Structure 1
Amino acid sequence: MKSQGASKNEANNAAQAAPAVKAEEKPAEKIDFSNVKIEPLFEENVDFDTFSKSDFRAVKIEACEAVPKSKKLLKFTLNDGTDRKRTILSGIHEYYEPEELVGKTAIAIVNLPPRKMMGIDSEGMLISAVHEEDGREGLHLLMVDEHIPAGAKLY
């Protein structure tokens, strides 16, 4: 009688002996971070209970438009997994055009109190990464895989 380990070894050996089918390999694009500066880390710690009060969720961007009379603000209509649409304003128009964000899945903090911006209630905050490169500020809206459903909690 063969042990289970022997069966697994035989299966592994058979798999290794089978001709390998390689997927088309693309060389990974190298990114030069030598000219990138990031903000220093906070020296003050936040206790876990305070941090865990922030409700991070995946949100689907259903609509996005420039806010009239604002050079910076974009108005997002978001599916946050509930029955109502959530509106969040974000000052990222310098980095993105509204139409390129529709259909993407982003990350938002959804339990902040509403804040009026240009007369519109913003019901949360979208999460972005900010850095300096070659003397200019850069910003990337954090987006997650499209297979993550609206409302999924992030830990």
Structure 2
Amino acid sequence: PLFSKMEKIEKTDKREKEAPPEKAEKKEKEKAQPQQENYISIEDFKKVEIKVGLIKEAQRIEKSNKLLRLKVDLGENRLRQIISGIALDYEPESLVGKMVCV
């Protein structure tokens, strides 16, 4: 593995346990409503450049069970190399010939 596993540590916040019921309900309502500040405007979205490419090659990376090395053709007269952490969900052979957004 590239990194060693860390043990889970349970965090407890005394303030949340001791909070009066009114404040706890208010916190739950705030969490339930989506925050507008997390969204971008349509003008900002228009600036994003999303390309669709064809996966030409896919292979596992040595000493890693989660990473794949993809060679993607974006129509730029060269292949772009992309490292992705999808090896647990996809076999490299099944990705060749698929279209992806980059």
Given the two structures, how large is their TM-score scaled by the length of structure 2? 0.60
In structure 2, list runs of 5 or more residues that go unmatched. 1-31
The structure whose residues are more often helix, as a share, is: 2
Counterpart of 2:96 in structure 1 is 102
Which one-letter code corresponds to 1:92 in the other structure? I
Distance 1:48-1:80 versus aligned 2 partners, 3 A rule: same
Given the two structures, how large is their TM-score scaled by the length of structure 1? 0.41
Identity of matched residues, %:
33
Distance 1:78 1:84 in 2: 9
Q: Pick the aligned partner of 2:40 from 35, 46, 51.
A: 46
Q: 1:91: how far off?
A: 0.5
User: Tell me, what secondary structure is at the counterpart of 2:51?
Assistant: strand
Distance 1:103-1:69 versus aligned 2 partners, 3 A rule: same
Counterpart of 2:8 in structure 1 is none
Q: Quote the RMSD (CA, aligned, Å).
A: 2.0
Q: 1:74: how far off?
A: 0.7
Q: Deviations over 1:77-120 (max 9, x none)?
A: 01101111111111000100100110111221xxxxxxxxxxxx
In structure 1, list runs of 5 or more residues that go unmatched. 1-39, 109-155
Counterpart of 2:70 in structure 1 is 76
